[in-house]
Amino acid sequence: MTHLPLFHDAPAEAALSAPPPVLVLGTGTGEAPAFAPDVARLLDEAEVVAAPRRLLARFPGKRHIALACPLEPALRELEAARQEGRRCVVLADGDPLLYGIGTTLGKRAAFAAPGSLRILPGVSAMQTACARLRLPWHDLAVLSLHGRNDWLPLAHAALTRRPLCVYTDAANSPAAIARFLLERGADWFRMAVASRLNTTEESVREYDLPEAAEQNFPGGESVILLPRRDDGVAPGPRFGLDERALTLDKGLYTKAPIRAAALSLLAPRPDDTLWDLGAGSGCLSLEAAALLPRGRVVALEREESRVSLIRENRRRIGIPHLDIVHGSAPDALDGLPDPDAVFIGGGLGGARNPNGRILPEAVAARLKPGGRMVAAAALLSTLNTLLDFARERGLRHSVMQIQAAESAPLAGSLTLKPLNPVFLIGIFPGDAPDRRLP
């Protein structure tokens, strides 16, 4: 017979001085879970039951702690009851350690001691949904958007094109997930939506993303994203963009040789945050995204028409972790996450940056330790301004001039057409000053 952990199972010497452990029981799915005899005995022995309100009425004669948002008061009451020597049971929907209260309790100092917390797993909504779909879940990624505002984990998971389970709420609904993926070009999924599992109102239905985006879901569904294998899905991020596949603004974009050199200087790591300021048509952002599978790219552009181009290019290529901000630097930088790397492709002149230094000053103040800033300049005056800025602050810096030519047809053959020369100024506020450089 399987041995279940009991309240008095702690070593005898520990039991003399320590309060009994809190038992966390996974209830699986459904509104009225049935408990095995051994589990029912644990509930009979309990003096305190902490559970969602809908379950508490099943346990008359016991002290009740309602698990509801905000959760902190209930957790403190639970900890106090244990310190009083009460036998406490926590009932958790699904599995307590899959985005459940078991994880929350395990992080609290009150349960740091060995034997203070014991967990019996339950069948999760993810497992039940996979069973209905006959989908093996050993390769499934799982994440929760319940109560979250940042959807970057969803973007990262979508990039893998693996099956994915997402726990939702009323605001972060299956329809909102479908719209997010479609807007960002991650159209390589279809969606299964599971609700009210193990009840008489159970529903498990598959949708194409455009269809799911138009539905009205009540909230609390489990979503399974299933990869599509058919042709026509967006290619996803890659280094070495085919510019013919993009919508560009009259040639106002960072050319391929400049992008390659700039990204080499920026040296992005897979989980970095990169800003592209004055993003134009978004070419550098789109290409940088391939180097940041666990990071974030933010494209900032002040011209609304170009913002529309970046959105369209993001959708065409499929870059879910690219955020697009319509605004002007430095004013629009305040709401952005601190960067590890910043490319300045524009905005180094004009009324908002009259002396050429306001923007690099603002960027340097926001860079994380070890951060890198690279600016593109066509004018010698801009180059000199940035060099003066770096020298005066003792910042390590470098200059690279890119002169390149691209082939073009001529007389049945090819000729080379030169591109305008561009200076790339690298400034590295996170490094110690290097006096060997000018």
Which ranges of the chain have pLDDT less than 70?
Answer: 1-17, 251, 349-355, 430-438
Residues 38 and 4 sit within 8 Å (Cβ to Cβ): yes
According to CATH, the topology of domain 12-123 is Cobalt-precorrin-4 Transmethylase; domain 1 (3.40.1010)
Domain with CATH 3.40.1010.10 in the chain: 12-123
Say if domain 243-428 classifies as CATH 3.40.50.410.
Answer: no
420 CB-near residues (< 8 Å, 6+ apart): 378
Give the pLDDT confidence score for residue 229 in this predicted structure. Answer: 80
Give the pLDDT confidence score for residue 427 in this predicted structure. Answer: 96
Domain with CATH 3.30.950.10 in the chain: 126-227
Give the pLDDT confidence score for residue 30 in this predicted structure. Answer: 87
Give the pLDDT confidence score for residue 5 in this predicted structure. Answer: 55
Q: How far is CA 92 from CA 104, 105, 223, 338, 413, in A?
A: 11, 11, 20, 37, 72
Give the pLDDT confidence score for residue 436 in this predicted structure. Answer: 36
Give the pLDDT confidence score for residue 142 in this predicted structure. Answer: 97
Give the pLDDT confidence score for residue 275 in this predicted structure. Answer: 98
> pTM of the prediction?
0.88
Domain with CATH 3.40.50.150 in the chain: 243-428
Give the pLDDT confidence score for residue 247 in this predicted structure. Answer: 86
Q: Could you identify the residue written with the tokens 């985006």?
A: 213
Give the pLDDT confidence score for residue 437 in this predicted structure. Answer: 40
Give the pLDDT confidence score for residue 1 in this predicted structure. Answer: 42
- Which homologous superfamily is 126-227 in? Tetrapyrrole methylase, C-terminal domain (3.30.950.10)
Give the pLDDT confidence score for residue 166 in this predicted structure. Answer: 98
